[in-house]
Amino acid sequence: MSFENDPRNIFVNQRNEYSENPKGTRQNEQRPYTNQTSQQSNRQTSSNDYQSKVDEMKRLAAKYEREGEGQLVKDIVNNVIEQKARGQLSNEQLVTFANRVRPLLNNEQRVRLDGLLEQLLKI
């Protein structure tokens, strides 16, 4: 799975789109009328991509709800091992991801995340 198709990054394209446009300007105001059709097509494609990523996240959530936290941890560890072996994941990226997720968790989940992160950094 490439970084762009990674369901954990579903908001990256949205964030990049906003950062490329100055506040108060709209995309269709920056380009001539002839490009509006292609922009609408791009938005539809982007919307379809977004929806497919949302659907993938829902599918994964349902899977791990059935299989439990133990299977989730196993899959995370296996995925990290594979990505590190291919040179696609660094310890810094793991720490950054954990820091992004941490505010969404309760205290018990944070402790488990910290323990898992400690193990993953040793791999």
What pLDDT sits at residue 117?
94
* Numbers of helices and strands, H then E, in the chain: 6, 0
> Looking at residue 46, what is its pLDDT?
73
pLDDT on residue 43: 67
Question: For the chain (length 123 residues), average pLDDT per consecutive 10?
Answer: 57 58 49 55 74 91 90 91 93 94 93 94 90
Residue 80 CB neighbour total at 10 angstroms: 19
Terminal Cα-to-Cα distance of the chain (whole angstroms): 20
- pTM here is 0.55
Give me the pLDDT at residue 48, please: 83
Residues 6+ apart with CB under 8 A from 76: 116, 120
What is the C-alpha to C-alpha distance for residues 36 and 29, in angstroms, rounded to an integer? Answer: 9
